[in-house]
Homo-oligomer: A and B are copies of this chain.
Amino acid sequence: MKIVIDAMGGDNAPLEIVHGALDALVVDKDVKIILVGDDDKINPILEQRNYDASRVEIVDAKEEISNEESPTTAIKTKRESSLVKSFEKLKSDEDAGGFVSAGSTGAVLVGAFMKVGRIKGVSRPALAPVLPTLDGNGVVLCDCGANVDCKPINLLHFAVMASSYAQSMLGAERPRVGLLNNGAEAHKGNELSKQAYELLSNSDDINFVGNCEARDMLTGDFDVVVTDGFAGNIALKTAEGTANLLLKLIKRGVYAGGLKPKLGAAMLKPVFKDVKAKLDFNAQGGACFLGVNKVIVKAHGASARGAITASILQARDLAKKNICERIRDGVMRANSMTSAEADEK
């Protein structure tokens, strides 16, 4: 199994990316890596390590795409960029099962869409991170930003794709799917969510359990929460921002409080460390871009080597479990049901 890696994407590229990739070779003897990026920068890092050179391929790419550029323009014009060359390699090399990048989210999504292509039948590919839950199992949030304006059919496809993903990633047998909404009752919602509720309720292909109020998103009552990319982005980033606020308020209280709370905080250090680790949205890998023809994992821009290794192993797992084929089959079934129902009416 080969995994293609954008060696130049992210805040810590190429150093942490290359090290993280080499670490993945140690963890899994069956993995091979293809590092795409400036070989003048990659080779000096490789030279510092012992590794099996037969399992490492380098594709030289001298250009880079930054977060500030327009994704569409960059993908269209920067043909020598690590990202464009990664997608070309991913498409041309049959053994390449997946791709990992910590670079510009917009460019990764646009590039995957344009160069790797949509799975047949999928109306819109979607970005799906796994968020931490109280029970430790995690919940897939789909979409969290790839599609800011959606139609009901998109949300049905998100539900089907994210269910396959939750089966592969979280081991949930019949993933419980919730629709993010402004109330738990069936009649709640805006125009989009009311229509999506109807569609999700009538689908036999997913285990739809009803509306999910945002305050219940992280309780562990849902394996999948579907929503349009705008609301999903708001939910994801509000969760990040609130966790930050709370930890900062505690820290500030400790520093302002004198000796006793400082001592208390020292005694609680392992607990805080553990909680922080549980809340780390990126420890288990990255967000998956579901609905394109290869496995695409978007690692956090700030990823250090550990997160890169985790993302590579995640891409390997998803490719091994044929996530793309499962999504294709699931969406095809859902589409035939939906059009069959439409025919009946």
Beyond A250-B275, A253-B274, whether A182 also contacts B239 by CB under 8 A is: no
**Given contacts A268-B268, A271-B257, A214 and B237 within 8 Å (CB-CB):** yes
Contact A238 B230 (CB under 8 A): no
Q: Is residue A241 within 8 Å, beta carbon to beta carbon, of the partner chain?
A: yes
Shortest C-beta distance, A246 to chain B (Å), equals: 5
Residues of A within 8 A of B (CB): 132-134, 145, 148-149, 180, 182, 189-191, 193, 213-219, 227-231, 233-250, 253-254, 257, 260-261, 263-268, 270-272, 274-275, 278-279
B254 engages A268 (CB within 8 Å): yes
Of B149, B249, B274, the contact of A190 (CB 8 Å cutoff): B149
Given A148-B190, A268-B265, A275-B250: A234 and B242 interface contact (C-beta under 8 Å): no
Task: Judge whether B278 and A267 touch: CB under 8 Å.
Answer: no
Q: Give the Cβ gap from A180 to chain B, nearest Cβ, in Å.
A: 6
Q: Give the residue name and chain of the B residue nearest to A220 (CB).
A: B245
A133 to B242, CA, bound (A): 9
* A295–chain B nearest beta-carbon distance, Å: 24
Given known contacts A148-B189, A216-B241, A246-B246, what 18 new A-B pairs fall within 8 Å (CB)?
A133-B245, A182-B233, A182-B234, A189-B230, A190-B228, A214-B235, A214-B240, A215-B237, A215-B240, A218-B242, A219-B241, A219-B245, A230-B231, A243-B246, A246-B247, A254-B271, A257-B270, A261-B267
Given A229-B182, A245-B134, verify A191-B264 contact (CB < 8 Å): no
* Cβ contacts under 8 Å, A228 to chain B: 190
B214, B229, B271: the one contacting A253 at CB < 8 Å is B271
Question: 8 A–B contact pairs at CB < 8 A?
Answer: A149-B190, A182-B229, A182-B230, A214-B236, A219-B241, A238-B242, A261-B270, A263-B264
A180 to B230, CA, bound (A): 10
Contact B243 A214 (CB under 8 A): no
- Give CA–CA (A257, B269) in the complex, Å: 11
Number of this chain's copies in the assembly equals: 2
Contact of A279 among B193, B249, B270, B271 (CB under 8 A): B249
Are B246 and A238 touching (Cβ within 8 A)? no
A214's nearest neighbour on chain B, judged by CB, is B237
Q: How far is the CB of A198 from chain B (nearest CB, A)?
A: 16
Q: Which residue of B lies closest to A190 (CB)?
A: B148
Q: Residues of B contacting A193 with CB < 8 Å?
A: 230
Quick one: which of B149, B189, B190, B234 contacts A191, CB cutoff 8 A? B149
User: Bound complex: CA of A229 vs CA of B188, how far in Å?
Assistant: 12
Pairwise interchain contact A246-B230, C-beta atoms closer than 8 A? no
Please pick, from B234, B245, B264, B278, the residue contacting A249 in the complex, using a CB distance under 8 A.
B278
Question: Which partner residue on chain B sits nearest A229 by CB separation?
Answer: B182
Task: Choose from B230, B239, B249, B268 the contact partner of A275 (Cβ within 8 Å).
Answer: B249
The smallest C-beta distance from A154 to any residue of chain B, in angstroms, reads: 13
Q: In whole angstroms, what is the CA distance A167 to B244 when docked?
A: 27
Given the complex, which residues of B lie within 8 Å of A249, measured CB to CB? Answer: 134, 275, 278-279
| A132 surroundings in chain B (CB, below 8 A) | 245
Chain B residues, Cβ within 8 Å of A278: 249
